[in-house]
Amino acid sequence: MRVYTEIFPAIASMAVGVILGCTHLVRGDEASKGIRARPARTELRSPIVEARLDISSGQPVVEVTINGKGPFKLVLDTGAQATKLDDDVVKSLGLKPVRKTETRDASGETPSGLEVVGIDSLALGGAVFRDFAATVLDYDEIFGGKRRYDGVLGYPVFADCLLTLDYPREQVVMKHGELPAADGQEILDYKERDGLAGIRVLISRIPVEVTVDSGMAGAVALAESLEDDVTFALQPAKRSGIATELDIRVSQLSGTLRLGRHRFIEPPVYFYGSGSAVGHKILRYFVVTLDQKNRRVRFARQESDPIMFTPKPKFGLVIGHRRGKLTIMHLVPGSRAATHLQVGDTILSIEGRPASWYDQHSIAALLEESDAIALKVDRGGFPLLLILEAEQ
């Protein structure tokens, strides 16, 4: 049960990953609405085209050639409304801006003109995408002189083919066809949100519309307006951005995120802006297929067990604060705790001491050091006393 003593450094690390890795740190989304982001023609040189998907950086990166030159490394970003290229790449290709457009920075406040360039062809493996536009960004400036990639490959590029991000095999797959009808389990209908795939998930039983955002390095991003609606294993803490004057709030959810039939226990989360998304740390468990024609997405995963972002609890349960009360937040299936307790049971006492005596750190220490604990809980007005032994 070290989650409450060790998770905070992990969350801090996640925040840095979001800031460094998030391709939307300086968004071109508003500008993207006026850009010809979808190719005029898509050519697949075989029925199934595969290419390597490098996920070692915490984002899916592919190698492409542009107008016959390269290779260039681009983040394959299903959360980007348009392709974006580093200005040095644009210069090396000899591309001339066709116009400028207005966008805003990540704070949503400072307008700035983005140059727009035309791309004749972009090849990814045996797939060629012809005649579309991209915006130009200075990634060296954004990342403090430590540019990680040459740009971002936007979601609309794949409008005319099925796109699969096979994270387990580290492959991107493109082919013609369509997904079967949604079943609510693995295949979900999505709503187009500004040209992107927006699906509904349940976060602590609250329905939330989120974008499927492969370019986001973190697990879950939530709109700031949702902060009062969900519960946390730790209270959100501020972390500042490095490339812009941004403040985000990072924490760890207390409870479960449900995506179709799939469950994620206590994923890390950050709050920033008005949009919500699921990112790399969720998507990496799946073979994700997106069907833009029919607005469907499939999340295929062989395993059915929930995915836990915390170490397996020693006593088969996760304890946290909900509405000011110490509460059972999660139970490991098959554990003795799961046999006798229920999620939502309110804890009255631990080892004979009232629940109010404990803070999250003293609970963590007790559960880590003990081989057995006595719990008294309240369930609908009825007290229940249980002695739990550590799971083997």
Give 64-119 as a DSSP string: EEETTEEEEEEEEETT-SSEEEEHHHHHHHTPPP-EEEEEE-TTS--EEEEEEEEE
The rounded distance, in Å, linking the Cα atoms of 23 and 336 is 44
More confident residue, 266 or 131: 131
Residue linked to tokens 């139970």: 331
On average, the pLDDT of the chain sits at 82
Kind and range of the H or E run holding 13: helix 3-21
> What percent of the chain has a predicted confidence (pLDDT) above 90?
48
Condensed to tens digits (0 to 9), the pLDDT of residues 336-362 reads 888 889 988 999 999 999 988 887 667
Residue 312 pLDDT: 67
289 pLDDT exceeds 90?
yes
Condensed to tens digits (0 to 9), the pLDDT of residues 71-117 reads 999 999 999 999 999 999 999 999 988 877 655 444 343 345 789 99
Q: What is the DSSP letter of 316?
A: S
Residue linked to tokens 């008294």: 376
The rounded distance, in Å, linking the Cα atoms of 296 and 303 is 21
Tokens of 148: 């990680």
pLDDT confidence tier of residue 173, bands split at 50, 70 and 90 = very high
Kind and range of the H or E run holding 44: strand 41-44
Residue 232 pLDDT: 67
What totals of helices (H) and strands (E) does the chain contain, helices first?
Answer: 7, 31
DSSP β-ladder status, 127-137 and 41-44? antiparallel
Using DSSP's 3-state secondary structure scheme, residue 367 falls into helix
- Rounded to 5 degrees, what are φ and ψ at 367? -70, -30
> What percent of the chain has a predicted confidence (pLDDT) above 70?
82
36 contact partners, CB below 8 Å, separation of at least 6: 131, 132, 133
pLDDT confidence tier of residue 364, bands split at 50, 70 and 90 = confident
The alpha carbon of residue 192 and the mean position of all alpha carbons in its chain are separated, in whole angstroms, by 18
Residue 57 pLDDT: 86
Mean pLDDT calculated for residue range 217-233: 81
pLDDT confidence tier of residue 237, bands split at 50, 70 and 90 = low
